[in-house]
């Protein structure tokens, strides 16, 4: 089973701009979006906040969710979009038991690419400023 030291070595190997923000929690800073990586029991969880739901125009929410689901099913290789406390997030979970560097890097890259590619598509539904 991989440990916190293994995950940190993966981050170093990827030359990530990261910081330790808690026990078994890292924050990867990648330009616009911050990717949180954390160990939770037997899994490694990757999570990035994308957009606050209250910024989406009420009359466009159905179209927004349809677009989000289409992106979820067609373009998310390693993770999925979801809602968490009024925020659209992209998440992925990897088993620590057999986690290797390539799998870790693929998940980080997939979430990072998804956010950079999908944020402009999803943000077009947002006309409200965050409260």
Mean pLDDT value of segment 80-92: 95
**Band of the pLDDT at 128, cuts 50, 70, 90?**
low
7 sits in which H/E element: helix 4-13
Verdict on whether the full-model pTM lies above 0.75: yes
Alpha-carbon gap, residue 10 to 5, rounded angstroms: 9
Residue 43, CA distances (Å) to 2, 46, 72, 77, 93 in order: 9, 10, 21, 18, 6
On whether residue 10 sits in a domain, the answer given is yes
What would the pLDDT profile of 47-84 be if each residue is shown by its tens digit? Answer: 999 999 999 989 999 999 999 999 999 888 778 999 99
On whether residue 46 sits in a domain, the answer given is yes
Of residues 61 and 32, the one with the higher pLDDT is 61
**Band of the pLDDT at 41, cuts 50, 70, 90?**
very high
Count of structural domains, the chain: 1
On whether residue 106 sits in a domain, the answer given is yes
On whether residue 130 sits in a domain, the answer given is no
Token pair 């990035």 is at which residue? 48
- CATH of residue 88's domain is 3.30.1460.10
Domain containing residue 18? 4-123
On whether residue 41 sits in a domain, the answer given is yes
Mean pLDDT value of segment 25-30: 93
């Amino acid at each position: 089973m991989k440990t916190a030291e293994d995950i940190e070595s993966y981050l170093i190997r990827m030359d990530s701009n990261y910081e330790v923000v808690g026990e078994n929690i890292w924050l990867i800073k990648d330009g616009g979006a911050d990717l949180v990586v954390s160990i939770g029991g037997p899994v490694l969880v990757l999570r990035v906040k994308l957009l606050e739901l209250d910024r989406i125009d009420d009359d466009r929410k159905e179209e927004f969710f349809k677009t989000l689901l289409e992106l979820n099913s067609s373009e998310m290789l390693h993770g999925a979009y979801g809602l968490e406390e009024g925020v659209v997030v992209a998440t992925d979970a990897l088993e620590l038991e057999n986690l290797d560097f390539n799998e870790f890097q693929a998940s980080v890259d997939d979430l990072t690419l998804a956010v950079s590619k999908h944020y402009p598509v999803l943000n077009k539904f947002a006309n409200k400023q965050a409260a």
